[in-house]
Amino acid sequence: MLRRAFLRLTSSAAALGVLPLAAVGRPEAAWAAEAARIGFLLKTMQEERYQADRSFFIARAEAGGAQVLFDSGNNDELTQVQQVEAMLEAGVQVLVLQPVATGTAGGLIDKAHARGVRVIGYDSMPAGTPPDLMVMQDSWAVGRLQGETMVQWLTEKKGRVEGRVALIMGQPGDSNAAALSQGFLDLLQDQPRRLDLIEQRSHANWSPDEARATAERLLLQYGNRVDAFVCNNDGLASGVIAALEAEGLADSSKVFVAGADADRRNIRWVAQGKQAVDVWKPLKPLAYQAADAALRLAREPGKPVGDMFGDVRMIDNGSGKVPTLVTPVALVTRDNIDSTVIAAGHLTKEQVYGDCAANLDCTPGEPGG
């Protein structure tokens, strides 16, 4: 099965041992007789979590008899356009797409639809032409959980909800970054005016280095008196932690930092008391639901999506209502690491507390791990 970067493995559909997409309108029985061919495109492999997205999705789809063509866009919009075109030429029947740029992803969906290929949006809602189906986590709830925990932290620390707060956002114009941020901002509006939102800034390519620069500037501007940094993901939180460490402030009793994705490094920081909280977005149900849906769409190309999936929310992407499968999220604190990410098998105790905690590449049970 094709597990590695698709564009590096092939220069043509023939090199993959597949035929070009020849049959828009091909009889459903003919598709059902073959292994489903599914394209899976992630926007990046920059964060640790994406290794799991890829592994879970491919394992689930291949267990269902599919051939998976995989690639990631390296947070580059043009690269992803080329990857979509290559997968369509290779004859994928369904495209599962996490867009690099959600604002222009409708054009990619148009390309797929023109070839008779249905599209499942993955994790980040595309704008423009709606995908046929969306599978995503409850991003709004992530921001809400971060905000609720921040309010509790401020109350315990100061006796009331007051302080300087920075919202560290991801890619400009990204719908997922917007949803993550909106959950926090909605909560912020309900709080007393003593909360001062000193920064609400997007960071190109979800860059940890840019997040660090933002945090360093704010610490300098406010004489190290910033109370909380709420970050759209763990990569951004890592940049903030780096800035705080340089000032001796990477301590959750001094500065509140919230991340999301439950990357190993960040959960280790939660355990150590450097990062206050994280929000775990379980990847297995997300990837499994996307793989299962792709298999169904590939094998029943003539069946309306609305007749195939019952437990969906209809979410507006700005151009239409999109049937959406939503998976849950969970707050991770120093007190519940064992009962959340460890109990569920996302991380091991050794990875969080043991020798593996110092080595992101080691495998538990091996030398150094």
Is 32 or 5 the better-scoring residue by pLDDT? 32
Query: What's the predicted TM-score (pTM) here?
Result: 0.77
Locate all alpha helices (DSSP H) within the chain, ordered by sequence.
6-9, 28-32, 49-63, 77-89, 106-114, 139-158, 175-189, 208-221, 234-246, 264-272, 283-299, 349-353
- The CATH fold assigned to 6-137+282-327 is Rossmann fold (3.40.50)
pLDDT of residue 356: 53
Residue 106 β-bridge partners: none
Each residue's pLDDT tens digit, 141-200: 999 999 999 999 999 999 999 999 999 999 999 989 999 999 999 999 988 778 999 999
Q: What is the DSSP letter of 42?
A: E
Residue 168 β-bridge partners: 201, 231
pLDDT at 364 over 90: no
Each residue's pLDDT tens digit, 317-342: 889 999 999 999 999 999 999 999 99
pLDDT of residue 67: 97
pLDDT of residue 194: 84
Buried b (16+ CB within 10 A) or exposed e, 337-359: beebbbeeebbbebbbbeebbee
Each residue's pLDDT tens digit, 90-126: 999 999 999 999 999 999 999 999 999 999 999 999 9
CATH number of the structural domain 139-260 = 3.40.50.2300
Give the mean pLDDT of 14-35.
37
Give the mean pLDDT of 261-285.
96
Q: Do domains 6-137+282-327 and 139-260 have the same CATH topology?
A: yes
pLDDT band at residue 297, thresholds of 50, 70 and 90? very high
Which tokens sit at 263?
């990357």
Each residue's pLDDT tens digit, 201-211: 999 999 999 99
pLDDT of residue 310: 81
pLDDT of residue 35: 82
Is 363 or 101 the better-scoring residue by pLDDT? 101
pLDDT at 305 over 60: yes
Residue 331 β-bridge partners: 279
Q: Where are the domains of the chain?
A: 6-137+282-327, 139-260
Of 9-23, 192-206, 302-316, give the lowest mean pLDDT range: 9-23
pLDDT band at residue 306, thresholds of 50, 70 and 90? confident
What angle separates helix 234-246 from helix 208-221, to the nearest 10 degrees? 40
pLDDT of residue 32: 46
Which tokens sit at 366?
């091996």
Which tokens sit at 131?
């995908």
Mean pLDDT across the chain: 88
pLDDT of residue 363: 45
- Asked if residues 83 and 35 have their Cβ atoms less than 8 Å apart, the reply is no
349-to-275, 336, 338, 353 alpha-carbon distances in Å: 18, 12, 8, 6
pLDDT of residue 222: 98
Which tokens sit at 225?
């008196």
pLDDT band at residue 48, thresholds of 50, 70 and 90? confident
